[in-house]
Amino acid sequence: MKKYDLLIIGGGMVGLTLALAVRKLTSLTVAIADISPIKALSEQPELRVSAINAASQEIFSQLNVWSNIIEERAQPYHHMHIWDKAGYGKLLFDDANIADEQLGFIIENSVIRNTLWQQAQQDSGISFYTQASIQSIGMGTDEVFVSFAPNHVESESSAPAAPPMPIMASLVVGADGANSWLRQQLNMPMTFRDYDHHAMVATVACSQGHQHTAWQVFLPTGPLAFLPLASKNEKGEQLASIVYSAPPEEIARLHALSEQAFNQELSAAADGKLGVVTCESQRVSYPLTMRLAHNFSQNRAVLIGDAAHTIHPLAGQGVNLGLKDAAALAESIASQVENNQLTVDIKAIKTFERWRKNDATEMVAAMEAIKQVFTPQQKPTQLLRGIGLTMLNATPLVKQQMVKQALGYQRHLPKLATKFNR
């Protein structure tokens, strides 16, 4: 039976970041279990993208993957333009008054995951289990025991392949997404609330270009974001990724529209700021739910990323929150190494849990507050909202603080997310 210090269930962006961070800070052995293979990038941008802030960029830089990420497809944005469709207010941000060269980057999820995966494969201390899914998990006093299901071969004449041998680990981490298998197996309770929104994503072309700007308009039905992409279409027009959050019935109506009608609605929603907007991809939607695990740890198991929390995408902070989880947990694990072995300290794990749960809870509350502020309301309330936006836009110190929050700067950042730690 193979023994590892750390088993990570989930080889997405957050799980891979944790593996590389642990290896950077320690010499511990790491296993990653994930049956979702990486795929070569297509010419067309992927529909799922992330807004990567300065703190996450620093994590990637210290893990030696940032240069490879930006060599693929990564679009910096220097401005944010937020406005209310009711016409009562707007907020404008730019990078002129900050030390960073940009406010952030919009990057396809597959670009980030592929780069992290390739980097992890080059590390002899990281092992991958990709041929069979995990079947069961058991918690011992000092170890976690995991067995795998048979790998069913796609052939009528072939018997199921023998599963990998069971493995042991000192600590198991669930980085396996919103529907976390590990969280469910351990019956870890979770608070959740349906946002009563679905998110529609698609790739669009903008005849006037995206202008290196992240655009977000609050429509009566919900927020619509136009996120700049690095790619162009055959006409040479710049592309953007849209994320439109609205009630399910509104998303269903949008799905039913013809391509021409859909393009007309997008162009009108953007108030002409992007010119003629045309959809260049399929339209895909998924439900939005707030989730927050009651506990991020249980015995020798820890949850990070979407396995521990999911938030509304209107501020684009979900992935950044998960990447900070990974960096913080790696820091906590590094403090528990003795004689090149992981000696799990439950007290240290609980300290990590309080640290990251506080951050996640604050973010959940902030997203809820923003969503409520822009919920359709009577015109007097809309007017007050517009006045508030206008006042914020005219207050440089407040805007600068808001930008710092968006960049991920906090009082208690993981060391890997802190620039002076290089």
The residue ranking higher by pLDDT, 418 or 402, is 418
CB 386 within 8 A of CB 84: yes
CB 11 within 8 A of CB 118: no
Cα distance between residue 229 and residue 131, in whole Å? 34
CB 317 within 8 A of CB 311: yes
pLDDT of 151 strictly over 70: no
What whole-number distance in Å separates Cα of residue 15 and Cα of residue 184? 18
Q: Minimal CA–CA distance to 5: which of 45, 37, 32?
A: 32
**Pairing state between β 337-338 and 341-342:** antiparallel
CB count within 10 Å of CB 8 equals 32
Among the four given CATH numbers 3.30.465.10, 3.90.1150.180, 3.50.50.60, 3.40.50.720, the one describing domain 2-55+67-74+107-192+289-373+414-421 = 3.50.50.60
Beta strands 190-206; 222-232: pairing state: unpaired
CA 396/CA 308 separation, integer angstroms = 35
pLDDT for residue 378:
46
Q: Which residue has the higher pLDDT, 375 or 258?
A: 258
pLDDT digits (tens, 9 = 90+) for 97-123: 666 678 899 999 999 999 999 999 999
Domain boundaries, the chain: 2-55+67-74+107-192+289-373+414-421
Cα separation, 21 vs 14, whole angstroms: 10
| 243 compared with 99, residue with greater pLDDT | 243
Which whole number is the average pLDDT over 282-298? 95
How far apart (Å, rounded) are the C-alpha atoms in residues 162 and 80?
53
Distance separating alpha carbons of residues 268 and 119, to the nearest angstrom: 43
Give me the half-sphere count of Cα atoms (radius 13 Å) on the Cβ side of residue 207.
9
pLDDT on residue 102: 87
407 falls in which pLDDT band (50, 70, 90)?
A: low
Q: pLDDT digits over 397-406, tens only?
A: 655 665 666 6
- Asked whether the beta carbons of 70 and 139 are under 8 A apart, the reply is no
Alpha carbon distances (Å) from 253 to 109, 249, 258, 265:
27, 6, 10, 12
Contact (CB, 8 A) for 340 and 288: no
pLDDT band for position 411 (50/70/90)?
low
**Cα 95 to Cα 91, 303, 400, distances in angstroms:** 14, 34, 10
Which of 92-96, 205-209, 410-414 has maximum average pLDDT? 205-209
- End-to-end CA, the chain: 38
Amino acid identity at 327: A
Query: What distance in Å separates the CA atoms of residue 285 and residue 183, rounded to the nearest whole number?
Result: 25
Q: How many helices (H) and strands (E) does the chain have?
A: 11, 22
pTM: 0.91
Structure tokens at 243: 């994320």
- Range list of β-strands (E), 324-422: 337-338, 341-342
pLDDT at 111: 97
240 membership: H or E segment, kind and range: strand 238-246
Give the residue, 407 or 421, on which the prediction is more confident.
407
Query: What is the DSSP code string of 198-209?
Result: EEEEEEEEETT-
CA dist 201 and 285 (Å) reads: 6
Flag whether pLDDT at 383 surpasses 60: no
Report d(CA 45, CA 56) in Å as an integer. Answer: 21
Whether the predicted pLDDT of 422 surpasses 50: no
Task: Work out the angle between the directed axes of helices 54-62 and 13-25 (0-180°, nearest 10).
Answer: 50
Tell me the C-alpha distance between 166 and 178, whole Å: 25
Phi first, then psi, for residue 194 (nearest 5°) are -70, 125
**Residues 113, 16: contact at Cβ < 8 Å?**
yes
